[in-house]
Amino acid sequence: MNADAARPTVTTPTTAITPVTAIDENAPAIVRVSTTVNAPLATVWDLHTDIAGWARWNPNVDRVEFSGPLTPGASFNWLTHGLDITSTLFQVVRGERIVWGGPANGIDGVHVWAFEEHDGVVTVHTEESWSGPVVEAQPVELRQALEQSLTDWLSRLKAEAEAEAQAGNR
């Protein structure tokens, strides 16, 4: 058999798509918050990336529809704080980073999560940008709402991951 015939054909798209791997630094609302979690990285990562399970431990998430896979390009629908959101995963680096974003009610959001483990303690950094006409009209109020939402999320993630680690569930 000819070796060239066994090689798959590779096509290159004519338009390059730049993957989103960072927040919009020019957005009118940007929030950065962090927390430390006394649990193994695998516990924190698995809990956070079990997107379909968010509503189980985060009461601010009313519903989530996600059937996977946890790969760039996959989308999920969710309802939080009255916003019905369709988010798309942009980047997934297992145990390190996950980035998603999408539009909701005139807000374009990009959300970056980063995870680092040192001596059995995980630091979770999150940053999110919101842009769009709705945000431009009320940047201070929406930034405050976003900061409260992210602070609550981290608090609940920390509590759930530490409880699971202590119980030996993950």
Angle between helix 41-49 and 139-167 (nearest 10): 130
Give the distance from CA 134 to its chain's centroid: 22
Report the C-alpha gap between 57 and 51 in whole angstroms: 11
3-state secondary structure 67-101: CCCCCCCCEEEEEECCEEEEEEEEEEECCCEEEEE
Residue 8 reports pLDDT greater than 80: no
Task: Tell me how long the chain is.
Answer: 170
Residue 3 reports pLDDT greater than 60: no
Q: Answer whether 154's CB lies under 8 Å from 126's CB.
A: yes
Tokens linked to 90: 């942009």
More confident residue, 14 or 157: 157
What confidence tier does 92 reach under pLDDT thresholds 50, 70, 90?
A: very high
Report the C-alpha gap between 99 and 114 in whole angstroms: 9
Residue 11: what pLDDT? 35
Summarised one tens digit per residue, pLDDT across range 41-72 is 999 999 999 999 999 999 999 999 998 899 99
29-38 mean pLDDT: 98
Tokens linked to 43: 């516990």
Residue 13 reports pLDDT greater than 80: no
